[in-house]
Structure 1
Amino acid sequence: MQNKKMSMKSIKSLEYGLIPINQIQPILSNINTNINQLDSIKLNNRLNNKSNNQYLYIINNQSPFINDVVIYNEVIDKESLDITRDAECFDDNITTDICTQFPLFFINRNIIKIPTKIESVIRKYTPRKLLKEIHPDIDVAVELCLLFTTQLTSTYFERLDEPEKMGWKSLHAEYLRDFLSIDPMAYKNVRTALEHPTKRGAIIECDYKPIKGEKNFHYRFGEAYIGKGIVSYHLQTKEAQRLLNKHYIRVSGKSQSNPIVQNLIQFYEDVSLPTIDQIWEEGDRLIKLKYKTKKGKLLKKLGHHSREYFKDQQELSFVEDSIKIFKYLTEDGLMYPDVGTEKSGGRIVDSFTLMPSWIRQMIKIKDKFNVEADYSCLHPNSAISLYGGSKEYLTHNDLALAMSTDISVIKVEHLSFFNKKERQMKASPLYDYYEKNEPKMLQNIIDEKCASEFKHKITSRRLMAKEVEIMTKVVEILNQELIYVGYVYDALICHPNDANRVKEVMDSIILKQGVKTSAKLSSENNPIVVRLKDSKSDLDNKESINSDDEVDDNYIKVEAKLINFNDRIRSMVLEKINNGNEVVFEHAIIEFPNKYKFKDRVLRIYDEINPELIYVIESHIFNPLVG
């Protein structure tokens, strides 16, 4: 009897919108037991009451749409909670400066992302008989089909980034059964309806090739539907809304106790996003600098051209595509951070991890451009630690010098090297280096791939799990000091004032974990670089001078646009200094286009990759975060 009273008390609190997120999961089963005792109409009225919404701590709706879903083991009771409320499609006006406090609430939670025109295709060309097998109400059946397609929406953006990909995505049967739990056979009936050939081919395809313990069925959109854009759709039927809301609760429930997720919820409150106009401007600036993404792709604009206009389109990353991804991740609110499965080592995915990195660098924290602190060569150094290697503090630059290879090639190869099969590893340019310098480590990795039930993927599972373990400990310490940070796998983004402390904690934790590497602070948002973007940036720690001041003849004048902030160059200069080579810095006046000037010392260099950048400044070499 006491348990029953507690359950009803919990339901009453939910009715008034007062359940904190950290109390949702424990009461779910009790809510389902007593749900018939709750007046659903009264509940909906309460949730529609704006005066109560300020207490609703439940998180918004974005997380399910772009995350990879592989094996999902958590199942909640089969009853759906009827806690829906009518919500119009808000226009958040993405072209204004958006403060992201709204992710702390269910915003537009009945909106899903689907391929363009897919709703009308289902209604016009899918036989009513197939739709009736899904649900007697045709409108409900159509919306269940649309819900299924949301699980493949991410493949649209994957193909924008890598056109050579075929668009397949693994979806576990148990996950789909829970997602469309209106009936045990619902997901199969939906699949049959979506596979029905239309005038332009089937909406989805399934490979029907499971491999026990290794591979689920893989799905993809039909060729006519995968590349036509993504639109927002507002679910109209109560049945579809119930399923979606149940899914949100399940996602938030499994994530809410995660320390990194708890940290991110706090972090979002201080974040503001760039406007679309600002992103276009930054894209133009980076194109002039011949900017390349972390995958080595050159940033370009499509303009009025089709993709086929560019002969080397696979080597390019288009600004237009990046903006589409940004809108997808932010226009209806931020994603709720989602904790991955063991396959991904428990990595957390949110709007910022999936955002193009050059746009992520534009995010402001309390009105200041963020600084990113990331571990240098984390996975290679973790592999050395886990698999009996001998080297310490390995860097991409070390490999580039030893292999006489451009560092960008090394970085791209390291993204996938440890996740490859043995024969694929041997085809990589990295293999010879590791065979010569880390033979024991390499052999241990290969032996494990052959023996493990997860086969070649065991290595990346272990490396990502180690990464998450390290980052979790770092975040927990920072949070104790009331420092909240953004999370991007092996990197953290933070306010400039917190950057040195973040790096300090990261360096301390990584050594305690037995991995010999260190964190480095990004140069992209170094205040000197920010000065080029925003003439109002602070350079309080630099000795600024007025344009009318007389300058000693011993100072040379250097235009700011000629300064090289590349980490590769910084590493090479430090290496020369550490090896005892003479490196002479000259006194200089750094001049900006807006006539702002400051004093520093510079070293003249030659960089084959960026020959127009002919100086490095001393303050950046010895302290990459200036100011």
Structure 2
Amino acid sequence: METTYNYEEVTSNNSQELDLLAIPNTDLWLSNIQHAFQGICSAPIPVFSGSLKGDSALNVGAAPLKWDDGALHEVYVPMGLATEIRNTVRFADGRLPHEEEVEACMVIVHMILARDGSNLDGESKDFSKTIPAKIFNRLLGKLSRRTTGAQLATAKQLIDSLEIAGIIKVDRSYCPGEYSYSYSINEDLLKRARVHVPLKEADGYRMWSRQQMFNELSSALLWSYPHYTLPDLAQVKAIAVQLDANKVMRKGKRCIYALTNKSKRAMEYWVARRANDRHSVRILDEDIEQYQRLLKSGLPVPHDSALCPRVTDGFNRMASWIRELILIDGEVTCELDFNGLHPHMLYGLFKEELPMNEREYFENVLNATGDIHGGVAAELIRLGIAKDLRKKGKITSMDVADVRGYVKKEHLAYFNRRSVSMNNKEIHQVYRQMPVFMALVKKTKLGRDGHKGTSKLLFALEVGLMTEIIRKFYAAGIHFIYVYDALVVPQSKVGEAASIMNAVAGDLGLLTRVKQSQSLPSAFAA
């Protein structure tokens, strides 16, 4: 007989178990995570200690790709921005900006636009971006050290002048150790097409020193890089033409190659359409321009940061349809990732503290088929919530596959949101059937990091999981591309790699298992 779950029954059965004071704090959870990984730890990967200069030993076709020097040498800003700055920016004493200051203002706008206004936790604040003052000071500190005789503005003066000119907006809400000022761009400028503008500063602008520290993840990537073969520009453009002609949808967005016929009018049309509905269109021209910059500027050195343990490099920030064209060891590749990793990681972390009926609900209902996205989708349909989603235009049909697509997108950010924001999401009607689990999730948001405490836990789990997997890849000689919570491997290594990933997940008590995606070159070969 099928078991059904009712929210009121679950709540009443567990009302005595929601003592938040008895729930462990984030630091204890992080300690538990470290202890869990110590129990399955493989031999560590030797940490890279060499120097990265000149060519990277990574080929684009037959040509070597050089290393990027880590400096900002060009900005990606709205068209006509330099003229706008010259015409509108004035300093407190009424003087016009020097050309060095015009360039510095463009760097500021570039930094604000760098992540397209999106926060890592999936929340958006009028497309604004929080940036610590020290970032601007590091980038623009050289202005105050000029010896040309001209007295140039500080980073703060430049920001104030840009705000007065109406080019940027500044929210000065600030709490030490929690959040900094946030910045956004004038809406009219946001609607303009963006262009790449080279900077005149010979040495570029840098936030960090030239010295680079490496960890196991970045060292393993440097070990894998020489085995990549990157597509040349002609190959990339040929695939873009096919994606556009076949009206391909990727991640819910229609792929548009606007400049196929060198039509600026087409480009302007699609930029304007995306501005009105930024979730419906992917302009492939911008992805190609980004790839051209990588070929021109060189390969970024893989690195983590003080704020996030994830390693960033030139490939996990590359458009996925271009990344799928890369060969590893001369073979086409396949991307392997876990099904619903974030909900599974949180469940694995809290499982021992959950009552039995909540464990049964997660394992026998939500994850009954091994597909957490599909299980939550089925519950949305059963509870009648999917009908509301269709009325609101968030899904186009009541088909499970359509609802599952919506759930998959929501899972990317749902648990990282503020508690109030979580409560307002439709999938909350499913997870509220597990009140102890949700109380534990919300407990992670009560520390000094606020709602970002959840991201801190998830990143710690994710990076620990991927590091252990990559240790085993290194021992087995499997070269890979790292895409945060996914790994791209050669087709001949798919079975072995998936087996390793599933074994490590199982050792950590995670219920999720690997799924694989079809490589793009093979799809077009058909």
The alignment's TM-score, normalised by the length of structure 2, stands at 0.69
- 2:519 equivalent in structure 1: 524
Aligned partners of 1:458 and 1:261: how far apart in 2?
Answer: 25
How far apart are residue 488 of structure 1 and its match? Answer: 0.7
How far apart are residue 171 of structure 1 and its match? Answer: 1.1
- 2:205 equivalent in structure 1: 244
- 1:512 equivalent in structure 2: 507
- SS of the aligned residue for 1:235 comes to coil
Partner residue of 2:193 out of 210, 224, 228: 228
Q: Which residues of structure 2 form unaligned runs of 5+?
A: 1-46, 146-152, 260-264, 382-399
Given that 1:112 and 1:233 are in contact with CA atoms closer than 8 Å, whether structure 2 keeps it comes out as yes
How far apart are residue 384 of structure 1 and its match? Answer: 0.5
- 1:204 equivalent in structure 2: 168
Given that 1:100 and 1:268 are in contact with CA atoms closer than 8 Å, whether structure 2 keeps it comes out as no
- 2:524 equivalent in structure 1: 533
- 1:192 equivalent in structure 2: 160
- SS of the aligned residue for 1:22 comes to coil
- 2:474 equivalent in structure 1: 479
- 1:292 equivalent in structure 2: 249
1:305-354 alpha-carbon deviations (Å, 9 max, x no partner): 41356886643333334334444555422333231444x4x112223222
Q: Which residues of structure 1 form unaligned runs of 5+?
A: 1-19, 25-54, 61-95, 535-591, 593-627
- 1:464 equivalent in structure 2: 459
Q: Which one has a bigger Cα radius of gyration?
A: 1
Given that 1:299 and 1:319 are in contact with CA atoms closer than 8 Å, whether structure 2 keeps it comes out as yes
Partner residue of 1:171 out of 131, 150, 163: 131
Given that 2:55 and 2:65 are in contact with CA atoms closer than 8 Å, whether structure 1 keeps it comes out as no
Please say which of residues 141-150 and 439-448 is displaced more in the overlay: 141-150
1:486-506 alpha-carbon deviations (Å, 9 max, x no partner): 111110112223322222221
Change (3 A) 1:57 1:465: farther
Aligned partners of 2:63 and 2:180: how far apart in 1?
Answer: 36
Given that 2:258 and 2:285 are in contact with CA atoms closer than 8 Å, whether structure 1 keeps it comes out as yes
Aligned partners of 2:56 and 2:232: how far apart in 1?
Answer: 23
Aligned partners of 1:141 and 1:285: how far apart in 2?
Answer: 43
1:456-477 alpha-carbon deviations (Å, 9 max, x no partner): 2222221122101111121222
Partner residue of 1:278 out of 222, 227, 235: 235
Change (3 A) 1:266 1:234: farther
Change (3 A) 1:492 1:225: same
- 1:397 equivalent in structure 2: 374
How far apart are residue 446 of structure 1 and its match? Answer: 2.4
Percentage identity across paired residues of the two chains: 21
Aligned partners of 1:427 and 1:139: how far apart in 2?
Answer: 48
Aligned partners of 2:171 and 2:508: how far apart in 1?
Answer: 42
Matched, 1:319 2:287: no
Aligned partners of 1:473 and 1:100: how far apart in 2?
Answer: 33
Aligned partners of 1:113 and 1:461: how far apart in 2?
Answer: 30
Q: What is the root-mean-square deviation in Å for CA atoms of aligned residues?
A: 3.8
The alignment's TM-score, normalised by the length of structure 1, stands at 0.59
Q: Which amino acid aligns with 2:134?
A: E
- SS of the aligned residue for 2:297 comes to coil
Aligned partners of 1:338 and 1:461: how far apart in 2?
Answer: 18
Change (3 A) 1:131 1:323: farther
The correspondence of residues 124-139 of structure 1 with structure 2, limited to 5 A, is: 126-127=89-90, 138-139=98-99
- 1:87 equivalent in structure 2: none
* Structure 1 stretches of at least 4 aligned residues deviating more than 6 Å after TM superposition: 57-60, 128-134
Partner residue of 1:442 out of 433, 438, 441: 438
Aligned partners of 1:166 and 1:365: how far apart in 2?
Answer: 41
- 2:312 equivalent in structure 1: 349
- 1:51 equivalent in structure 2: none
- SS of the aligned residue for 1:352 comes to coil
- SS of the aligned residue for 1:372 comes to strand
How far apart are residue 58 of structure 1 and its match? Answer: 9.8
- SS of the aligned residue for 1:476 comes to helix
- 2:341 equivalent in structure 1: 378
How far apart are residue 522 of structure 1 and its match? Answer: 1.9
- 2:27 equivalent in structure 1: none
How far apart are residue 521 of structure 1 and its match? Answer: 2.4
How far apart are residue 414 of structure 1 and its match? Answer: 0.6
Aligned partners of 1:507 and 1:447: how far apart in 2?
Answer: 29
Partner residue of 2:53 out of 51, 56, 73: 56
- SS of the aligned residue for 2:196 comes to strand
Q: Which has the higher contact order (CA 8 A, sep 6+)?
A: 2
How far apart are residue 59 of structure 1 and its match? Answer: 8.2
User: How many residues get paired?
Assistant: 423
Given that 1:97 and 1:273 are in contact with CA atoms closer than 8 Å, whether structure 2 keeps it comes out as yes
Aligned partners of 2:215 and 2:333: how far apart in 1?
Answer: 24
Given that 1:114 and 1:232 are in contact with CA atoms closer than 8 Å, whether structure 2 keeps it comes out as yes
Change (3 A) 1:431 1:99: farther
Change (3 A) 1:340 1:384: same
Matched, 1:258 2:253: no
Q: Which amino acid aligns with 2:414?
A: F
- 1:415 equivalent in structure 2: 412
The correspondence of residues 582-593 of structure 1 with structure 2, limited to 5 A, is: none
How far apart are residue 215 of structure 1 and its match? Answer: 1.8
Change (3 A) 1:320 1:352: same
- 2:23 equivalent in structure 1: none
How far apart are residue 217 of structure 1 and its match? Answer: 0.6
Given that 1:420 and 1:456 are in contact with CA atoms closer than 8 Å, whether structure 2 keeps it comes out as yes
Given that 2:69 and 2:300 are in contact with CA atoms closer than 8 Å, whether structure 1 keeps it comes out as no
Given that 2:328 and 2:480 are in contact with CA atoms closer than 8 Å, whether structure 1 keeps it comes out as no
Given that 1:58 and 1:106 are in contact with CA atoms closer than 8 Å, whether structure 2 keeps it comes out as no
Given that 1:263 and 1:475 are in contact with CA atoms closer than 8 Å, whether structure 2 keeps it comes out as yes
- 1:493 equivalent in structure 2: 488
1:553-588 alpha-carbon deviations (Å, 9 max, x no partner): xxxxxxxxxxxxxxxxxxxxxxxxxxxxxxxxxxxx
Change (3 A) 1:420 1:129: closer
